């Protein structure tokens, strides 16, 4: 079985090893070494990346049958002896976040009596799942404050082995099926937390730099906490500070005044939107009234109104059709041309014509789809020129 050197040293990135087995996994070349510093995906922590004799290592996993570490490569490697190099930036990021997770987890236990039941670390997000249904802002702030206090005290972080029956005081989220060390491996953050863990960690808490809680998300009866440490936290704060500064500059105010200014703008926007909606409805009422006045009456006094528009808002036309057929004895066949043309066929309640059937036959001829009730139907979603739309509406009117 591969000797896992990262258990005793998370900082070494260059090493030599002997290839003990070569194979293929999912049509990709794989090697097994007699010893390795490459960490395989496990316990919520992703795999290390790097090279073996210059060949990129693109994934590192554990073989279920014998717990051997599989180094999945980007190309074939035929050498029996290899020089390995672990991507330090990726490794250190994982060390910061895994140790930070231990600290934040214990901080939530102490400040909110909320236990961690899940941990996920990826290049995009870092989260813990807490076994609680609610967390106040005060609890979140208290946990974050405590976690950062432990970081700034620069406490030692040590990895050591314990006998399996010596679990007193050890926080255990999930024991592995098979121990790969001569005892239970625990990570001890001096005077604060002792956790059973097989991951890579920093040697002192100060190396984490900072822990920042970003947001909370309810997931069933649990709460998912997203956070970032170290360089990721700095990058996140830098980006958000730039955004806030731009917003404040656009609003011509101080950063602290931006929330009040935005609230004022939202209120003004809602007021203006409501006023525009009222005005638009009034215009549609005027438009419908004019169309009804100009439309000739046919047999039995029925008015068939056809109107083709180009680039007109579909919501406006739907409202226009409704306004027209609110009057008795009216059939409205209207539509808008464009890349996604829309047709609306409607009739007054006192008329027997089936608008759904008429629209379906019209759109079938045009290569589109749609339908609806006998009194109101709509459809389209096809590219249609204005002249083709006018002709389609005339054809539909002739079928009445």
- Structural domains of the chain sorted by starting position, each given as residue range(s) with its CATH number in brackets: 3-86 (2.40.30.130), 91-243 (3.30.980.10), 296-398 (3.10.310.40)
* pLDDT value for 370: 81
What mean pLDDT is reported for the chain? 92
* pLDDT value for 4: 93
**pLDDT mean over 48-67:** 94
Q: pTM for this one?
A: 0.74
Q: Return d(Cα 230, Cα 220) in angstroms, integer.
A: 30
Which runs of E-coded beta strand occur in the chain? Answer: 3-4, 14-25, 28-33, 35-36, 50-52, 55-62, 69-73, 81-86, 116-121, 126-130, 157-162, 184-189, 193-196, 211-219, 222-229, 303-310, 330-347, 369-372, 376-384
97-130: pLDDT as tens digits? 999 999 999 999 999 999 999 999 998 899 999 9
* pLDDT value for 178: 57
* pLDDT value for 171: 67
22-53: pLDDT as tens digits? 999 989 999 999 999 999 998 889 999 999 99
């Amino acid at each position: 079985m591969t000797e896992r050197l990262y258990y005793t040293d998370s900082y070494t990135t260059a090493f030599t090893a002997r290839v003990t087995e070569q194979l293929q996994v999912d049509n990709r070349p794989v090697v097994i070494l007699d010893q390795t510093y490459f960490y395989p995906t496990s316990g919520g922590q992703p795999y290390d990346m790097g090279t073996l004799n210059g060949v990129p290592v693109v994934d590192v996993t554990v073989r279920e049958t014998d717990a051997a570490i599989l180094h999945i490569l980007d190309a074939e490697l035929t050498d029996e002896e290899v020089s390995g190099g672990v991507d330090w930036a990726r490794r250190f990021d994982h060390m910061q976040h895994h140790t930070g997770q231990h600290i934040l987890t214990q901080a939530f236990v102490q400040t909110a009596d909320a236990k961690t039941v899940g941990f996920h670390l990826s290049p995009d997000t870092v989260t813990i799942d807490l076994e609680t249904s609610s967390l106040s802002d005060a609890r979140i702030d208290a946990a974050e404050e405590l976690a950062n206090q432990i970081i700034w005290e620069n406490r030692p972080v040590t990895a050591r082995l314990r006998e399996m029956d010596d679990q007193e005081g050890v926080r255990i989220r999930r024991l592995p099926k098979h121990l790969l060390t001569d005892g239970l491996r625990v990570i001890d953050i001096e005077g604060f937390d002792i956790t059973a863990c097989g991951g890579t960690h920093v040697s002192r808490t100060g190396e984490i730099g900072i822990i920042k809680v970003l947001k909370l998300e309810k997931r069933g009866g649990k709460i998912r906490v997203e956070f970032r440490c170290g360089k990721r936290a700095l990058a996140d704060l830098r980006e958000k500070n730039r955004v806030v500064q731009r917003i404040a500059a656009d609003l011509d105010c101080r950063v602290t005044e931006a929330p009040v200014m935005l609230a004022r703008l939202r209120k003004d926007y809602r007021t203006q939107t409501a006023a525009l909606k009222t005005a638009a409805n009034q215009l549609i009422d005027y438009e419908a009234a004019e169309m009804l006045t100009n439309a000739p009456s046919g047999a039995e006094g029925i008015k068939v109104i056809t109107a083709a528009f180009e680039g007109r808002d579909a919501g406006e036309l739907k409202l226009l059709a409704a306004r027209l057929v609110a009057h008795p004895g009216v059939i409205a066949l209207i539509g808008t041309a464009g890349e996604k043309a829309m047709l609306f066929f409607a009739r007054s309640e006192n008329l027997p014509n089936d608008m759904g059937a008429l629209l379906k036959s019209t759109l079938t001829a045009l290569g589109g789809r749609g339908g609806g009730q006998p009194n109101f139907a709509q459809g389209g979603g096809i590219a249609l020129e204005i002249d083709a739309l006018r002709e389609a509406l005339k054809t539909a009117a002739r079928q009445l």
